[in-house]
Amino acid sequence: MLEIKDLRATVGGKEILKGINLTIKPGEIHAVMGPNGAGKSTLSYVLSGRAGYEVTGGSVLYKGVDLLDMSPDERACRGLFLAFQYPVEIPGVASATFLKTAFNAQRKFRGEEELDAMQFLKLVRKKTTELGIKDDMLKRAVNVGFSGGEKKRNEVLQMALFEPDLMLLDETDSGLDIDALKVAADGVNRLRSPERSALIITHYQRLLDYIVPDFVHVLADGKIVKSGDKSLALELEEKGYAEISAA
């Protein structure tokens, strides 16, 4: 699914990622944990193609194709989904319009027929009901005036709708109460399948109580310093990053 080799990246001329190696196979869920400033968000932005994050070395293959060459929208259309740590507010763009535009753009990319307004609405309603999201959210502008929990729910709704192949979750747990956390985890778990992978980027292990990862990696100062199974997350929680990173 994803093959990261010696990935190096700079932001504003400063090197943040200093040679990341990580391979994710179909069906696997990986968690990358690390202290603040380790480069976690940079990793998610580099993978999703944000401007200003300059790759200075290494390679990333996604489904065997060079990911770094693609525009952000092409990555999305090929099934890479980033759940944002801070979903952006976009005044003036109705959520329904936004979802439909994105949904059809992705279908069009894959050579599938676009859904008309009625078909799409039916599909969205189905998803919102499943996720327990109120319909009136669709009428509001994207994320505008949403509470932290609502914003995360909106991300989960999009994930459910787009059915991505690789989910990137960037600090999805930050600022969430336990109920909202469960909604987010539930969204990911629903999509778990042998073909679908996920990379969960997080500071705390509590999200991992709900989305159990196959592998856990520790990111420190731009490098993966340790890898293991889910028990590593618990160990981190207990001992803290300093000890593990030094080990």
Partner 1 sequence: MKNRTPLAQSYLDRFETAVSTLPGHESRSVQALRRQGLDTFAALDFPHKRIEEWRYTNLSALTKATANEDIPSSDLDVIQTAALDAPFEMVFINGHFSSDESRLKELPEGITLGSIASSLGNGAVFSLSSEEDRALFALNTAFMEDGFSLHVDDHVQSETILKITFRNESGDQNGRHIRNVINLGIGSKLTLVEEHTGTGSYFSNPVTSISLSEGAALNHYKLQNESHYAYHLSLTDCENAKGSIYQNFTFSLGARISRNEIKTTILGSEAESHLNGAYLMRGKQHCDTTTLTEHKVPQNISSQVYKGVLDDDAHGVFQGKIHIFRDAQQVVGDQLSKALLLSDRAGVDCKPELEIHADDVKCSHGATSGELDEDALFYLQSRGIPEDRARKLLIEAFLADVMESIGDTPVKDYFNAIAASWLTEA
DSSP state letter for 196: B
Please report, as residue ranges, which positions from 153 to 172 form the binding site for partner 1 (by CB under 8 A): 158, 162
Max Cα–Cα distance, the chain, nearest Å: 57
Binder among 9, 76, 199, 219 for partner 1 (CB under 8 A): 76
Q: Which is nearer to partner 1, 90 or 234 (CB)?
A: 90
Length of the chain, in residues? 247
Rounded to the nearest 10 degrees, the angle between the axes of helix 178-191 and helix 148-162 is 10
The tokens describing 58, both together, are 């290494």
- Interface with partner 1, residue 102, by CB under 8 A: yes
For 77, how many CA atoms within 13 A lie in the half-sphere containing its CB?
16
* Residue type, position 124, single letter: V
Bridge partners (DSSP) listed for residue 201? 32, 170
Q: Which stretch binds partner 1 (CB under 8 A): 12-20, 98-106, 132-140, 222-230?
A: 98-106
Binder among 12, 71, 179, 231 for partner 1 (CB under 8 A): 71
Binder among 91, 132, 145, 194 for partner 1 (CB under 8 A): 91
The tokens describing 80, both together, are 């890479």
Q: Which stretch binds partner 1 (CB under 8 A): 33-41, 55-63, 87-95, 234-242?
A: 87-95
Q: What is the x/- site pattern for partner 1, positions 113-152, by CB under 8 A?
A: ----------------------------xx----------
- Interface with partner 1, residue 106, by CB under 8 A: yes
Q: Which is nearer to partner 1, 75 or 217 (CB)?
A: 75
| CA nearest to 131, candidates 101, 110, 154 | 154
- Interface with partner 1, residue 75, by CB under 8 A: yes
- Interface with partner 1, residue 245, by CB under 8 A: no
Contact 23, 192 (CB under 8 A): no
- Interface with partner 1, residue 48, by CB under 8 A: yes
Total residues binding partner 1 (CB under 8 A): 32
- Residue 139 has a CB neighbour count (10 Å cut-off) of 9
Phi, psi of 63 (to 5 degrees): 50, 40
What gap in Å lies between CA 143 and CA 93, rounded to an integer?
Answer: 9
- Interface with partner 1, residue 39, by CB under 8 A: no
The tokens describing 180, both together, are 């909202």
The minimum distance between CB 235 and partner 1, in angstroms, equals: 33
Instruction: Please report, as ranges, the residues that interact with partner 1 according to CB under 8 A.
Output: 48-51, 71-73, 75-77, 81-82, 84, 87-93, 97-98, 101-103, 105-106, 109, 141-142, 158, 162
